[in-house]
Amino acid sequence: MTFIHIQEVIPRDGFQIEKNFVPTDEKIKLIDRLSECGLSKIEVTSFVSPKAVPNLRDAEEIVTSIKRNPNLTYVALIPNVRGADRAIAAKIDEINLVMSASATHNRKNVNRTNEESLNGFKEIMEHIKGTNIKVNGSVATSFGFPFEGEISEDTVQHYIDTYLAMGMDSITLADTTGMANPVQVKRLVKKVMKQIGEVPLTLHFHNTRGMGLANVVAAIEAGATRFDASLGGIGGCPFAPGATGNICTEDLVHMLMEMEIETAVELDKLIDLSKGLPELLGREDIPGQVVKAGKVTDLHPA
Ligand code: COA
Ligand code: ZN
């Protein structure tokens, strides 16, 4: 039976775009509770410029203060060598190197050409030697971007080859602005799985146009088993026009449970945590749907 790994990104993708700074101790409390939910990974922060993303300016404190559950992997997103060195010093489990297949988005996001990003990654792979830290390579905007429109599959596959040649351990295809559709997802995931063989592949979908969970089903049909998702469905890249939330973790787990697909995630714990988001974030309009409607299995008095 298929086992699907659920990888939580609210502390990074979620909080980075919020209007309000989530206090550091609240972030730590939430990550510690998420660590008890049966997730495979948690992306706990990013080591980026605090000027670019002020909400994640507390990255060191987060990584060194959370309680590490040895059953899961703690990840930080990294844009450049400086960020990698900070993450290595903080002893993160895994770094997630991000470059965008869209040259325009890469410039807006990390102020680099693709070549400059890749040269930085090469240097990071040198710095990581002798540590136990794993490296995931993300190709952002793998399914399209509002400036260039469609991104060619050859371009995406070329960057994946480049990542693997550098010695990265795993790959993520990210649909940063929610442009992917299920037919496209199935096609690209099949191609990439063939290309990378046993190397773990993660799909990172945003629900910007309501296609997020449909894309998950398409990706599973193509053989994918790892998905990023954000509690409450919040999140988005501050440097991409019209960006909105990731697929919602509890909605994803609920759907997979209804489909009798195993995840090991304890849905009720996630739902409880998600119910705390309006207070934590200071807003009521959280996208997650199961929290509002209840589970399919919730019985109401007749
Ligand atoms: N961590 C902390 N500070 C950093 C840093 C890092 N990883 N990288 C650079 N800086 C600092 C530099 O020290 C410098 O500081 P100063 O102005 O006080 O001297 C400043 O940022 C500019 O450095 P530079 O190397 O010229 O960076 P830049 O202006 O070209 O910006 C990035 C490049 C990558 C640092 C910046 O675009 C960034 O942090 N982007 C993050 C994007 C992101 O998180 N997107 C969402 C997730 S996909
Ligand atoms: Zn994202």
Under a CB-based contact definition with an 8 Å cutoff, are residues 251 and 197 in contact?
no
Under a CB-based contact definition with an 8 Å cutoff, are residues 231 and 250 in contact?
yes
Query: Who contacts 21 (Cβ-Cβ below 8 Å, separation ≥6)?
Result: 54, 55
Task: Check if 95 has its Cβ closer than 6 Å to any atom of ligand 1.
Answer: no
For residue 79, is pLDDT > 90?
yes
Rounded Cα gap, residues 252 and 217, in angstroms = 10
Read off the pLDDT of residues 81-92 as tens digits, 9 standing for 90 and up. 999 999 999 999
pTM recorded for the entire structure: 0.98
Rounded Cα gap, residues 281 and 129, in angstroms = 39
pLDDT bucket at 150, cuts 50 / 70 / 90 = confident
Give bridge partners of residue 9 from the DSSP assignment: none
Count helices and strands (H / E) in the chain: 13, 8
Read off the pLDDT of residues 240-288 as tens digits, 9 standing for 90 and up. 998 999 999 999 999 999 999 999 999 999 999 999 999 999 999 999 9
Q: What is the pLDDT of residue 247?
A: 98
Burial class of 276 by CB neighbour count within 10 A (0 to 12, 13 to 18, 19+):
middle
Q: What is the pLDDT of residue 135?
A: 98
Q: What is the pLDDT of residue 301?
A: 84
User: What tokens were used for 169?
Assistant: 């351990």
Percentage of the chain modeled with pLDDT above 90: 96
For residue 302, is pLDDT > 90?
no
Distance 49 CA to ligand 1 centre (A): 4
Q: What's the whole-number average pLDDT of the chain?
A: 97
Nearest CA to ligand 1 atom 32: 110
Which segments within the chain are labelled E, that is strand? 5-8, 41-46, 73-78, 94-100, 134-140, 170-175, 201-205, 226-229
Q: What is the pLDDT of residue 264?
A: 96
Query: What's the per-residue H, E or C state across 161-230?
Result: HHHHHHCCCEEEEEECCCCCCHHHHHHHHHHHHHHHCCCCEEEEEECCCCCHHHHHHHHHHCCCCEEEEE
Query: Which one of the ligands is nearest to 177 CA?
Result: 2
Query: Which one of the ligands is nearest to 109 CA?
Result: 1
Say whether 37 is catalytic. Answer: no
Query: What is the rounded average pLDDT of the residues 187-192?
Result: 98
Distance 236 CA to ligand 2 centre (A): 5
